[in-house]
Structure 1
């Protein structure tokens, strides 16, 4: 289970059963921007304010700094191995199959759960338009899923908040259908949506910055740097708002569908991250400075987690109705409060149109990770089946879309985002370690992009990921080990026995001068083909 699949074998496998390369540097950067700018800034700004107050601006800087060093690590590995699979593929090449499986399994939390969170965020904006723009009262039981809490190790629902989120189901399934039609078509639609999204945020910044009042920024950090308990304070908000940046690594999962990936993948990764960071800081300043971003308190005056029962009770009070932290459509709400209701509705419409681009990239990334894991034999190979007309892995895309719709229907956005972060931070931590290990194990391999000061940057990335994970809410931290245990059971029941590397099925580049003629021999130590040991 510690067996390693070499980078040469990974590249050879991709060549023999590959996805069509159709994405250039501009498309890739736009895909990155489309994946990054979304629920994190449109919706989770309110949750960050509840945890950190105006100090959420520092939270954005902390989360962005961790992402920046992680992006440099990702860029080196993605340029060396321009194939689908992201952190899963890199871990397989460096640390072995067991840890690669753990990373691939954790990435389900990053991509699929993130897509569900964005679906719920989209639902908040569309319901805001329906209720405030059209004056129609949408049924509460169909506008949100139940609130969940951990009773020991058992998740317990609270149906007093809601029953099922119907809009989240609709958008998740619609995006799934678009992805099945094809990657190029999806990228073209995404480019239009990214332009709308950037224009909407630019207008928001232009209208809010002139009315910023320093009084609204005080107290700057009402819950302190770390808060009274896990998940609160500036660092706790950074751990949650980290979700606003995670889309950048979805660019690396598209490496196998990118033209000239050695050059274009680092451009897409770092370019999209830098562009979005500037936007986040300006939007956060505009929101907090225009109407204030102070958290609501429980009846006893204590700090409360966003999405909790005590938080919902506090937001139900009349005096808290206009608080930023209580809004499900934070940016549109800010514009309405400062006297621009029509512009607020327009921004809500922009969110309605553009948030599906984030769902698109998250489901896109998830299906490509499933695709490459199935191609390695760790998941059923039927998942790699391509559609005869659209040339996309339609089975795994449909399966992923249905799972995303179910999670979006039943869970609130804040909890989904924190759960997604737990898997993301684990994957980023493993990538940070993999860069260092590969520098030691294979120092002479050509690296089209080299992480600068790698022995400083990679450890900073690993420590940053650990620090943010530690400051997630307790329930979100508990999901990762439970989810990991489920994954290990599946691996030892299926993947361990079906693994192509374990069975000696190793692809060798056909054009390599060292490639043997005829069948590829089994790996050293692998059972002989057709033997009783192989059948066992």
Structure 2
């Protein structure tokens, strides 16, 4: 039994599967970079300053850099492994090659939690931003009965389900078409943030940054811990390995470029916001960027309307790209036999796993429409951090087990930087609350039941290792 749980896929086998994939290769480095930016640059920057600035003061600018450096440890590991194993499974596949089938299943199950529940949570946020935009622009809002789930004052959250279905329609058209739509949306949300900075800098006061560390180094560190989750999503490009034209070259570039771009945008936005409004005024604010412009620049409802448009587009892009990643990870798990083969069936005309896309989208739409996510959404952070931790460990192990394997990118100062990535993930995990751990534990128990009842019996690797023994007998 121990041998069955720890059996590993050979790196060469994973690379061969990726090279012979039935998915269509249509993405270059620009589309891959924007895929990761689309998944990362979401609603967080529009509201996160209201939570982080009271913790760190003006030093939140340094907090963004520190959080970015923390994410960089894992990004470097993702870059090495994505160039080495350019498949659709992301960290699930990396774990399969290094830590064995059971750990790979746990990692894949974590990714299902991270991607699936986070899409539902972002879809709920999309509905809230649409309501805000309708209120600002036309003075109307959707009835709560049809814009909130049971338990939150409503009956069904129609807007949240609607955006998931619209994303499904785009994804069914093909990876190339989805990438074009995402490129347009990422351009719009970057333009909205650039607009915010341009307007906010007209009210800039350097004195707002004195003192820079009013709450000390501890406050700056607390701000960085809160802001780390604004960087989740940079690994999205690693799920597109089988739809990239030159994955070994472009995937590492896309992962690093997306993280650098997002970090630069976050820092500039933070400098503009703090320069325009004293840090003590951020406490208790929700639509933080809108409030900065209203308080410091004026202009009535024009700027909040434009920023709300940007927020709606930002959340739409996140729903599209994260939903895409969820579908590709299930595709890889189905090809390995750990989930039903229906999830790996590709439509011959569009090159899209159609049944997979429809099933996943329907499940997420129901979750978004009917479930008040609450602390369950926080469990996505655990799923993400476990995946990051395993990726960092995989780099260290593969340097030992497959030192001659082709690597188009190598993490510098290995194993130091990957181990620092593991340490950062462990630190972030210890900061999560008990409710989050309970939700995660429940999800893991369910996952182990599914693996015990289906995955271990239908594993493709298990059949391959068992067949010779049968023949010799």
Considering the TM-score relative to the shorter chain, is it more than 0.5?
Answer: yes
Residue 406 (structure 1) aligned with residue 398 (structure 2): no
For residues 177 and 141 of structure 1, the distance between their equivalents in structure 2, rounded to whole angstroms, comes to: 26
1:503 equivalent among 463, 467, 470: 463
1:62 aligns with 2:20: no
For these two proteins, the number of residue pairs brought into alignment is 467
Question: Which sits farther off after the overlay, 245-254 or 345-354?
Answer: 345-354
Q: Find 2:160's aligned residue among 165, 168, 179.
A: 168
Residue 192 (structure 1) aligned with residue 184 (structure 2): yes
**8 A contact 2:129–2:312 mirrored in 1:** yes
8 Å Cα contact 2:160-2:365 kept in structure 1: yes
Gaps of 5+ in 2: none
Given the superposition, is the C-alpha separation of residues 488 and 449 from structure 1 closer, same or farther in structure 2, using an over 3 Å criterion?
Answer: same
Distance in 1, Cα, partners of 2:382 & 2:225: 9
**Farther-moved stretch of structure 1 (443-452 vs 86-95):** 443-452
Counterpart check, 1:419 vs 2:423: no
C-alpha change, 1:293 and 1:176, in structure 2 (3 Å) is: farther
Give the drift of 1:357.
1.4
1:262 matched to which residue of 2? 248
Match of 1:336 among 268, 288, 294: 294
* Pair 1:124-2:82 in alignment: no
Distance in 2 between residues matched to 1:418 and 1:58, nearest whole Å: 25
Conserved 8 A contact 1:332-1:344: yes
Following TM superposition, by how much is the alpha carbon of 1:124 offset from its aligned partner in structure 2, in angstroms? 2.6
- The match for 2:119 is 115
| Residue matched to 1:207 | 199
SS in structure 2 at match of 1:457: helix
- Counterpart CA distance in 1 for 2:131 and 2:324 is 26
Task: Return the alpha-carbon distance in structure 1 between the equivalents of residues 121 and 226 of structure 2.
Answer: 12
The TM-score, its normalising length taken from structure 2, stands at 0.90
Going from structure 1 to structure 2, the CA distance change for 1:432 and 1:194 (only over 3 Å counts) comes to same
> Residues 149-160 of structure 1 correspond to what in structure 2 (within 5 A)?
159=152
Conserved 8 A contact 1:503-1:527? no
* Structure 1 counterpart of 2:44: 40
Structure 1: runs of 5+ lacking an equivalent: 147-157, 227-232, 296-322, 505-522, 532-536
Q: Does 1:447 align with 2:407?
A: yes
CA apart distance, 1:70: 0.6
- Residue 134 and residue 220 in structure 1: after superposition, are their counterparts in 2 closer, same or farther (change >3 A)? farther
The whole-number CA distance in structure 1 between the counterparts of 2:439 and 2:446 is: 11
State whether residues 59 and 234 of structure 1, in contact with CA within 8 Å, keep that contact through their aligned partners in structure 2. Answer: yes
- The 1:241–1:91 alpha-carbon spacing in structure 2 relative to 1, beyond 3 Å, is same
> Does 2:257 correspond to 1:271?
yes
The superposition leaves residues 364-401 of structure 1 with CA deviations (integer Å, 9 ceiling, x where unpaired) of 11100000000000000011122243221111112222
Normalised by the length of structure 1, the TM-score is: 0.80
Comparing 386-395 with 276-285, greater Cα deviation is found at 386-395
Which of the pair is proportionally richer in helix?
2
- Per-residue deviation, 1:138: 3.1
| Alignment counterpart, residue 528 of structure 1, candidates 460, 470, 473 | 470
* In 2, Cα distance between equivalents of 1:108 and 1:443: 31
Among 170, 173, 177, the residue aligned to 2:169: 177
Deviations 1:465-504 (A, max 9, x none): 1111211233223322221121111101100010010111
CA distance in 2, matches of 1:401, 1:14: 24
In the alignment, structure 1 residue 99 sits paired with structure 2 residue 103: yes
Tell me how large the CA RMSD over aligned residues is.
2.7
